[in-house]
C-alpha cells in the first residue's frame, strides 16, 4: 500500500514514452510530421474507425467536428448538464445556441427520456446532439441517435473519458456506429496523455477531410486540389479554401500519444481491475454511500471513479469530507458543476432547474483512479472515507 498522496488522477509516463519524445525531438519534425500520421492510423485501428483526425485538444476537436457538420448561428447543440464546459462552449464558438439537457441522477448520462424533454426546446432548429460518456460509461447511443436523427440532428460523441470503453454491442467507443463523429482528449488526467491533444474519429470520409482542412487554416497545398489553377510562375501557390484555425497536434505530442497507445490495454485492464475493487468495497454500505453507477450491458474503461454520497443525510458537507480526506493523503474532485449553473450560461439561457443534474451534482465525488495505483489503494481510500463519513 502506498502511503504517499493519491491524487484523483495521474498520468503514467515510462522510459518508452520518454524515448519516443526524445527521438522526435532529434528528428526534422516538431509539428505535423510522421508521428502525427502514425498516431492517427494507430488510433483509428484501435477504436475500429475508418478515419481519425488529430488536433490540439478535445476542445479543438469538438469545435472542428461541430463546424464540419455545419453548426452555425440559428442552430442548436444539445449537451448534457453534467460535463466539462468545453462540450457546450464549442457550439458557442460556432455561434450556435446551447440547450442543456438533464441527465440520469445516478450515472450523470444523457438518456432517451432527458433528450426527449430537451428536444421540446428545439423549435425546429437544425443542429446536433453531443452525448458525453461520463466517467467512461457509454451512453445509450442507439436510442439517443435515433431520437436525434428523427429531428434531423447530427450526433457527436464527446468521448473524452471513454477511450477503451465498449458499448452494448461490444464495439469500442470511437467506432461511431451511430454517430457522425467521436471526440477524444489526451489531457494528462485522461486515460492517454499527450500533454495537450485530441482526436476525432468518424466513418464519414468527407467529414474527416473537412476537419483536416479546418485544423490547419483551411489551407490546401496539393496542386490537384486547387480551386484556382496552379501557375508555373507561382510555384509557392497555396490556397485557403475555407476558414480554419491552427488546431494542429505537434509531432512531439503525437510521438507521446503513439507510445501511450501501446499501453492502452494495460491501462484499461488496470482501470477495470481497480474499479472492480472499489465496487466490491463500496457495495452494501447503506443508503448514503454508493459505488460509481454504470449502465447495464456496457463495459466501461473508467476515466473517473465517481461515487455517490448523500452528504446531507450524513450531516457532513462535501467540502469538509474532501478536506479531511486530503489530510489523509487522498485527493478527490467533483465532476462536474452543471453547465447550466455557470454564470455565462445563466446569462445566455436564464435560470434553469434540471433535477437529475442537480441530484447528481449534490452527491458526486471522484475518488483516486489511475493505473499506477497499488492493488491495496482502493481499500486505503474506502477505509479512510468510511471513517470520515462516520460509517
Ligand X SMILES: *Cc1c(COP(=O)(O)O)cnc(C)c1O
Residues with a known catalytic role: 190
339 Cβ neighbours under 8 A, 6+ residues apart:
79, 80, 81, 82, 83, 85, 87, 88, 98, 100, 345
The residue ranges of DSSP E strands in 232-377, in sequence order, are: 239-240, 289-290, 305-309, 364-367
Half-sphere exposure of 174 (CA within 13 A, CB side): 31
Among 132, 307, 325, 382, binds ligand X (CB under 6 A): 132
Among 71, 86, 115, 307, binds ligand X (CB under 6 A): 86
5 Cβ neighbours under 8 A, 6+ residues apart:
329, 330, 331
Site mask for ligand X (CB under 6 A), range 230-269, x = bound: ----------------------------------------
**CA-to-CA distance for 206 and 120, rounded, in angstroms?**
31
Residue 182 is a binding residue for ligand X (CB under 6 A): no
- Evaluate whether 261 touches 45 at the Cβ level (below 8 Å): no
Among 20, 51, 52, 57, binds ligand X (CB under 6 A): 57
Residue 58 is a binding residue for ligand X (CB under 6 A): yes
Nearest-approach distance from CB 80 to ligand X, in angstroms: 9
State how far the alpha carbon of 29 is from the alpha carbons of 24, 43, 114, 129, 251, in Å: 7, 20, 47, 37, 7
Nearest-approach distance from CB 302 to ligand X, in angstroms: 13
Nearest-approach distance from CB 304 to ligand X, in angstroms: 9
Residue 131 is a binding residue for ligand X (CB under 6 A): no
Among 10, 39, 49, 59, binds ligand X (CB under 6 A): 59
- Residue among 122, 124, 64, 123 nearest 94 (CA): 64
Residue 173 is a binding residue for ligand X (CB under 6 A): no
Q: Which stretch binds ligand X (CB under 6 A): 31-39, 155-163, 229-237, 316-324?
A: 155-163
For ligand X, the binding residues in 195-224 under the rule CB under 6 A are 198
Nearest-approach distance from CB 88 to ligand X, in angstroms: 9
Q: Which residues contribute to the site for ligand X (CB under 6 A)? A: 57-59, 83-84, 86-87, 132, 158, 160-161, 185, 187, 198
Amino acid at each position: 500500500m502506498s502511503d504517499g498522496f493519491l491524487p484523483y488522477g495521474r498520468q503514467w509516463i515510462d522510459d518508452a514514452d520518454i524515448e519516443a519524445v526524445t527521438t522526435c525531438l532529434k528528428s526534422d519534425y516538431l509539428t505535423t510530421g510522421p508521428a502525427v500520421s502514425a498516431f492517427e492510423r494507430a488510433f483509428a485501428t484501435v477504436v475500429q474507425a475508418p478515419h481519425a483526425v488529430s488536433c490540439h485538444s478535445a476542445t479543438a476537436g469538438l469545435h472542428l467536428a461541430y463546424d464540419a457538420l455545419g453548426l452555425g448561428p440559428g442552430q442548436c447543440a444539445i449537451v448534457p448538464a453534467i460535463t466539462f464546459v468545453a462540450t457546450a462552449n464549442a457550439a458557442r464558438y460556432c455561434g450556435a445556441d446551447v440547450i442543456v439537457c438533464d441527465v440520469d441522477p445516478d450515472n450523470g448520462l444523457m438518456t432517451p427520456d432527458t433528450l426527449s424533454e430537451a428536444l421540446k426546446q428545439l423549435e425546429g432548429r437544425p443542429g446536433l446532439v453531443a452525448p458525453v460518456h461520463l466517467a467512461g460509461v457509454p451512453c445509450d447511443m442507439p436510442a439517443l441517435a435515433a431520437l436525434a436523427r428523427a429531428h434531423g440532428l447530427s450526433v457527436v460523441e464527446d468521448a473524452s473519458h471513454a477511450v477503451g470503453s465498449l458499448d452494448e454491442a461490444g464495439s469500442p467507443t470511437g467506432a461511431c456506429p451511430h454517430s457522425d463523429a467521436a471526440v477524444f482528449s489526451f489531457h494528462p488526467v485522461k486515460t492517454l496523455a499527450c500533454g495537450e491533444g485530441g482526436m476525432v474519429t468518424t466513418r464519414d470520409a468527407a467529414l474527416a477531410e473537412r476537419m483536416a482542412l479546418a485544423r490547419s487554416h483551411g489551407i490546401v497545398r496539393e496542386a490537384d486540389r486547387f480551386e484556382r489553377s496552379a501557375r508555373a510562375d507561382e510555384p509557392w501557390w497555396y490556397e485557403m479554401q475555407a476558414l480554419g484555425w491552427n488546431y494542429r497536434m505537434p509531432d512531439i505530442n503525437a510521438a507521446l500519444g503513439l507510445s501511450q497507445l501501446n499501453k492502452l490495454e494495460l491501462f484499461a485492464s488496470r482501470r477495470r481491475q481497480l474499479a472492480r475493487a472499489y465496487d466490491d468495497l463500496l457495495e452494501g454500505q447503506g443508503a448514503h454511500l454508493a459505488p460509481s453507477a454504470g449502465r447495464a450491458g456496457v463495459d466501461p474503461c473508467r476515466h473517473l471513479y465517481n461515487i455517490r454520497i448523500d452528504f446531507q443525510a450524513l450531516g457532513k458537507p462535501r467540502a469538509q469530507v474532501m478536506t479531511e480526506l486530503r489530510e489523509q493523503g487522498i485527493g478527490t474532485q467533483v465532476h462536474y458543476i452543471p453547465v447550466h449553473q455557470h454564470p455565462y450560461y445563466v446569462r445566455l439561457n436564464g435560470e434553469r432547474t434540471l433535477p437529475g443534474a442537480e441530484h447528481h451534482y449534490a452527491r458526486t465525488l471522484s475518488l483516486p483512479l489511475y493505473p499506477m495505483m497499488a492493488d491495496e489503494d482502493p481499500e486505503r481510500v474506502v477505509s479512510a472515507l468510511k471513517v470520515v463519513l462516520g460509517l
